[in-house]
Chain A
Amino acid sequence: MTTWFTQDHEWIRVDGDIATVGITNHAQEQLGDLVFVELPEVGRKVAKGDAAVVVESVKAASDVYAPVDGEITAVNDAIAGEPALVNSGAEGDGWLWKMKLADPSQLDGLMDAKAYSAMIA
């Protein structure tokens, strides 16, 4: 499994043709305590750059964008009841959705962990 990162602070972990997407630990630090996550419907088709999820902190609402094209295959229901899971485990238990990749070659344009670390440094 390889994890890729976007300029907008999403991560995408690819296993075969299914990818898991979330926000980075850096992003959750910037957002602060989350109190609500608006998850997409399973089956929704998203294009790269579409707002797929809205995460809401005490103070503000922020969009989370689809890093690549594809179809939503699952959402993390645990965070609907406990948005703070995204704060405590942004790059693990606090994942947002899984999607079937439409075009795996789109991953080539994303950053690896090293490049992302350099960007936020």
Chain B
Amino acid sequence: MTETGDLKLLPLEELHVAAGARFGGFAGWSMPLTYPPGVMKEHLHTRATAGLFDISHMKLILVEGPQAAALLRRACPLDPEALELSQSKYSFFLTEDAGIIDDLIITRLGPERFMVVANAGNAATDVVHLTSLAKGFDAKVTPLDRVFLALQGPAAASIAAKAGLDISGLTFMHGIEPKPGWFMSRSGYTGEDGFEIGVPIADAAGLATSLLASGEAMWIGLAARDSLRLEAGLCLHGQDITPETNPVDAGLMWAIAKPVREADGFVGAKALAALVAHGPRSKRVGLKPEGRQPVRAGAQLFDADGNPAGHVTSGGFGPSFEAPVAMGYVPTALAVPGTSLFAEVRGNRLPVSIHSLPFVPHRYFKG
């Protein structure tokens, strides 16, 4: 049913075919959407035990050199020098208008060595953007060819240890290079404890097999990855955040330390400062449909008097929340948990209420 004509194939494609994956196109890649257990069981298994995700569509970009930190300070609203070795930080590439080109995780691997993890759909744009900024700096930008696997769930740490990975001392939002060519961080996109592990293609099948060997972790497709991240209140770039939205409205200013906001050294600094000064025009919020009917991306929102009140940017069903869940933008004055609104779906206006994020509590390992 799905066209896979010009899509890139994952290096571990054969393993996914053998596991019975159903594939679909995403960001130019043919990706496993679901496996035989189906999205519901995959989602619940990740929260109960552990799931293994092939996220090789995402891009690892190495930034190194005497001015690597200075380049990243210019490219992101971030103070790379303030990162301790192995510390990771969520950040952005911004436009001059403070629109979000991409959201990223940046890890300091050495005094002059950083790993940037970028979204699949923006990888090419990000590499061009960063390479172009790098022209004024003594720093080298190298996109890496890696298989990137995410192991997520409460059993992730014990599974990783059984597979021979040394995770001792690695806490949430830290990353290391355990072997030449490997990158492993304690992070993820589900709200659960877990790891993201980038390895050279030659090492990938062996790693996947060893992580699945105990029988606890199972392959999880993109469909459950989306429902897991939505329950966790995490943004999907291209939907919840875009070059037309900014970190102030998106409620992501926690990712930008105060001294950095005032530093003025990064692309988008002036526009961001103006947005902070004016306060958000609209705010990203969680939305809980009151019935069983999901409310999906693109649905328009209305207040009780029928006035436009924003729109939905992500929506679906939350298997762990056991109800529909959504995220969207509403005028700041309405962005209060409990506020009742209506979402238009196929001509009907369905009651939804503003819900705090996340829908399902995060369970990160902070040591």
Residues on A lying within 8 angstroms of B by beta carbon are 30, 32-33, 35-36, 38, 54, 56-61, 87
Most buried by B among A32, A57, A59: A59
Q: Nearest chain-B residue to A61 (Cβ)?
A: B296
Known: A30-B1, A32-B38, A33-B38. A59 touches B346 (CB 8 A): no
Q: A32 CA to B32 CA in the complex, in Å?
A: 13
Instruction: Say which residue of A30, A54, A87 sits within 8 Å of B346 (CB atoms).
Output: A54
Residues in B with CB closer than 8 Å to A59 are: 33, 39, 223, 226-227, 316
Q: Mark B28-47, 1 if CB is under 8 A from A, else 0.
A: 00000110001110010000
Q: A61 CA to B293 CA in the complex, in Å?
A: 10
Q: Give the top 9 A-B pairs by smallest Cβ distance, nearest first.
A: A33-B40, A35-B317, A58-B317, A58-B39, A59-B223, A36-B293, A33-B38, A32-B39, A36-B292
Residues in A with CB closer than 8 Å to B22 are: 30
Q: Nearest chain-B residue to A84 (Cβ)?
A: B40
Q: A31 CA to B255 CA in the complex, in Å?
A: 37
Q: Is the CB of A33 within 8 A of B296?
A: no
Main secondary structure of the interface of B (DSSP, over half): mixed
Most buried by B among A30, A32, A38, A60: A32
Q: A57 CA to B40 CA in the complex, in Å?
A: 10
Residues in A with CB closer than 8 Å to B293 are: 36, 38, 56
Most buried by A among B33, B40, B224: B40
Q: A97 CA to B53 CA in the complex, in Å?
A: 38
Residues in A with CB closer than 8 Å to B346 are: 38, 54
Residues in A with CB closer than 8 Å to B34 are: 32
Q: A36 CA to B39 CA in the complex, in Å?
A: 15
Q: Mark B91-123, 1 if CB is under 8 A from A, else 0.
A: 000000000000000000000000000000000
Q: Nearest chain-A residue to B1 (Cβ)?
A: A30
Q: How far is the CB of B112 from chain A (nearest CB, A)?
A: 43
Q: Mark B201-234, 1 if CB is under 8 A from A, else 0.
A: 0000000000000000000000110110000000
Q: Is the CB of B292 within 8 A of A58?
A: no
Q: Is the CB of B292 within 8 A of A35?
A: yes
Q: Mark B293-309, 1 if CB is under 8 A from A, else 0.
A: 11010000000000000
Q: Is the CB of A58 within 8 A of B1?
A: no
Residues in B with CB closer than 8 Å to A57 are: 39, 317
Q: A61 CA to B224 CA in the complex, in Å?
A: 16
Residues in A with CB closer than 8 Å to B224 are: 58
Residues in A with CB closer than 8 Å to B296 are: 60-61
Cβ-based interface call for B25 (8 A)? no
Instruction: Say which residue of A30, A54, A58 sits within 8 Å of B40 (CB atoms).
Output: A58
Most buried by A among B22, B38, B296: B38
Q: How far is the CB of A64 from chain B (nearest CB, A)?
A: 13
Cβ-based interface call for B319 (8 A)? yes
